[in-house]
Structure 1
Amino acid sequence: MWRVTTAIRVFALALATGIVLSDDRAGVSGPLLAALGVIAATGSALDWTTDLRRTGWTATAEMLLAALMLASADPSAGLYAYLAAPPVVAGLRQGLVTTVNVAFVGALGVLAAVGAATGSDPRPQLIDAGPWVLSGLGAGLLTSWQSRSLRHLDARRAPYEAAHHLMAQLHGLARRREVGLDTAQLAADLESHLRRATGATASGVWTGSVEEGLVLLSSYGDTTSLAAEVGRPPEARSPGVRVLPIQGTEGVLGFVALSGVLRWNEEIGDKAAEVTDNFALRIDTAVLFDELRWMATSEERNRLAREMHDGVAQEIVALGYVVDEIASISDDPEARALAEGLRDEISRVVGELRYSIYDLRHTVSDHRLSGALSEYVRELVATGTDLRVHLTFDESGAPLSARTETELLRIAQEAISNVRRHSRAENLWVTFVTDGVQFQLTIEDDGIGSAAPRDRHWGLQTMTERAAGIGAVLEVCNRDHGGTRVHLSTHHHATAAREGTSRP
């Protein structure tokens, strides 16, 4: 659309130039024609934007400046031809209302400039300017009616173009490492700065609200009772505890709580508030980016699951039918035995693919992690495994962050899958305990044990990386009474130590 509006201005200037050249006052009108060129170029430059509000004001200002300049300078009548351009531009980009407003502003500008002139007859200038203002109004109204579908399309595309522009900027900053997008890291950095500024010995950062529930992002030291302090009024809080709100773009994003503050004065309070405000926008952006990343990851997992189901799985099933056909027509007992063995292996691979597809699609939805784990284990039992499953869940306090719960579920899926495929166990124990701050996840079996990493198998390495990403420690060892024990737990300072801060 920018090319079209620029062409309209160029045409108006060319028309005005042609009329002026045929007039005997061409020399006098030259500077005014050059000034109109500057106004047109400025308007075209300001039109290079997706902000429709700005382009509306651009056409209005362009019309007013041109009208005041021409009507006050007594130019050649041909220069008034440019007054038809801004209403047409407004009609193309804004619609009927803006077109009328721009033409009305131009008429007022001409009247004001003519009225301010003394000792001259205003009628010739009004006669010269009037037809072009009316022509611009008519053409603008017609253009507005004809281009309404284009404006609606631009209006629908504008949010996506703005979002794309912002995401591109954010991506560039992240690639240049000028901004971090990890909420846990930013929360840990905020804690570290506040502890240095206030002398606190323990701290925690939560997002959300007291009414709807707080989600822990990061903690340092013993923060078991800090979450309860957030919801209390200042006068009811324990000695040495301070709570600072984190102001996001749409209100309070969350809270940071500090304990062990020996002294608190106005200077320390101002410094703590300044540190919190400096991190607030970064954390707000990181939380939003986490949500977008989670949505993209979930969509990609579902896409992979569909591709596996509709592609590889169906082809392997078809291969099984071929093997069945070979076994049915062969008279060689050895060939039939080989075909039956191959058929069993194909059935096993298809079963593994189905497990993998379910792993990809299974997520922590509205229920808490215990519900997702229970559902996953029920699906495991329903598919014909001989494992006896023992579940122990103890969840209290605020829910863990969505990222933490998702990573815990993926670790549990990998550990349970290893038990099902490799352990030859009869019993599986799954234990999950959390108080909303600390957590422990344990998966045990009574199988053959010796769960050591194997070449070209990345399960344990992936589990370790996921654990480190949420500030937890993963331990894989032999179970006391035989089998394997996978234990995942947080500890006081896990997040802070991961981010490079010192422990007290």
Structure 2
Amino acid sequence: MSYQRIKWMILFLPTVTIGLWEYVRHQWLMPYLSMEAGNWLSPLIIYIVSITVLRGLFQMMEHTRAALDQERIAKGKLEERQQLAGELHDGVAQSLFLLGVRLDQARRRFDQPQVVQLLNDLSRTVSEANHDVRQAIADLKQAPRQEGAQTSSLEARIQAMVPLAGVKVDVDWQLEDDIFSPSEQAELLACLREALLNIHKHARARSARIVGMMNERGWQIAVEDDGSGYNRDDLEQPGRFGLRITAERAQQRGWTFDFERVDERTVFVLREGKHHG
């Protein structure tokens, strides 16, 4: 039922009710019902209609109005996201593209191996940053989630990031949301996002797994993949700064971060507190 129709029903229903009552009363009930009794029954009937029918109509009106407000908010957020996407595209993305072109030109002009290697690393870093920015632009152009989704569980938000890995990812999440503060949840999601992007860019994996669980020392979160592994020296290359940033995030929060190879699987681990094992 539309919002306007509900309002008109609320306005007219008491009038129609009392009019019908008075008609029935004077047409058929006068021989059986005294004037005083009829006068007492009139407000009683209005009260009964108010607490039954009108109360339900008011609840319907509130729900309809809330839905309209949510739609208006969602539309406003979508417009803001699209505006931000346009600004990113016209600013950061175009600048990164131009920087990549200039690096390619510089790479063709120098023949020293060390310079070429450095330019290759810089070009790869710019390419990855450009990919991330364009992915953010694509996400911003999509309609934002409803308010209920924005306040959804941590597991649901992790599930929403799974496509970033580019492979099948199983999620085994046994942690309660309330063990993390809102700021810790934001940091945790940023770390997991980097782990999934690392799988997509470097692992050459076929599948992955995210496990969140409690043990005797506190919570532990692991992201595992069956990819080709890694060389620790590679993590120090200019193009592989994401994991170093993740380690710094963990250190600032007092967490432990490990990135290791275990049983032919690459394991990205975050643990509560500064401990190992």
Return the TM-score normalized by structure 1.
0.27
Structure with the higher fraction of residues in helix conformation? 2
- Using CA pairs below 8 Å that are at least 6 residues apart, which structure has the higher relative contact order? 2
Superposition TM-score, scaled by structure 2 size = 0.47
* Structure number with larger C-alpha Rg: 1
